[in-house]
Amino acid sequence: MNFQHFPSSGRGLKDIGWLQSNFFFSFSEYRNPMRSAFGTLLAFNDDFVAAGKGFGLHPHANMEIISVMLNGSMNHKDSMGYTNVVHEDWVQIMSAGTGLRHEEYNVGDDTVNFLQIWIQPKLQNVTPRYQYRHFPRAERRNRLVTIVSPEEGAGHCWINQNTRISLGLFDAGGATEYRFNPENKCLFLFVMSGAIDVAGQALPARDAIGIWDTGEIRITAKGEAEFLLIETPINQK
């Protein structure tokens, strides 16, 4: 097994007052040639948006964009005609394909915190698509729940890539084993709250770890802990 630790203290930072973005990989003005991506995971941003602020209408193409809401309420409006609001414990995806435009603003009173995840698509120039799902905390306790999958299904979002994203919320001492096909696959694990032990490494809140060349990992919560796990291709071959 091989792994790379991504401490929160090593993240890039963009702070423009109403927006604070923490980058694990090169994004916006942050450039780190040693951290350009992890497999087909091209961006993993831990974003905080002030009340009443947000991102105006802007374009995307040929990218799988996932938003995992950790706190607050944020609207979504796009050129496909979708208009809605997503809240804490909701997940939304945009399969940008041939191109779309969208906007999103903090429409609540609290600071929005969401994870912005960009995945390289499997197929180029597909028809754009939007989807969202709710994953209540009570239904995620002490188990891994798939929130994004390469297969269609009513219980999760699906994207144009052989990528699976799971959420874990475990009580102190709770543990789980995650098994996957190690051929051309890697794992990226991010701790939202609490602390965990994985692959012999202690990870506090907001740290991440990338793992490859193994088919199984064991994750143990040190106190109540919430984390996100991304299994994605190492490359497009």
Cα–Cα distance between 131 and 102 in angstroms, integer? 13
Enter the DSSP assignment of 11. Answer: S
Q: What is the pTM of this model?
A: 0.96
87 is in an annotated binding site: no
Q: What percent of the chain has pLDDT over 70?
A: 99
Cα–Cα distance between 42 and 36 in angstroms, integer? 7
Cα–Cα distance between 98 and 96 in angstroms, integer? 6
What pLDDT score was predicted for residue 72? 98
What pLDDT score was predicted for residue 33? 86
Instruction: For domain 2-233, give the fold.
Output: Jelly Rolls (2.60.120)
What pLDDT score was predicted for residue 166? 97
Read off the pLDDT band of 145 (50, 70, 90): very high
- Main-chain phi, psi angles of 139, to 5 degrees: -95, 0
29 is in an annotated binding site: no
The contacts of residue 29 (CB under 8 Å, 6+ apart) are 14
Cα angle 130, 133, 135; round to 5 = 155
pLDDT 10s digits, 214-230 = 999 999 999 999 999 99
**Look-up: residue for tokens 């120039």?**
125
Report the chain's mean pLDDT, rounded to a whole number: 95
Compare 199 and 88 and report the one with higher pLDDT. Answer: 88
Extents of the domains making up the chain? 2-233
What pLDDT score was predicted for residue 235? 83
pLDDT 10s digits, 37-62 = 999 999 999 999 999 999 999 999 99
Read off the pLDDT band of 182 (50, 70, 90): confident
- Cβ burial of 15 (10 Å; 0-12, 13-18, 19+) is exposed
Residue 171 is encoded by which pair of tokens? 């009580």
What pLDDT score was predicted for residue 184? 86
- Main-chain phi, psi angles of 61, to 5 degrees: -150, 145
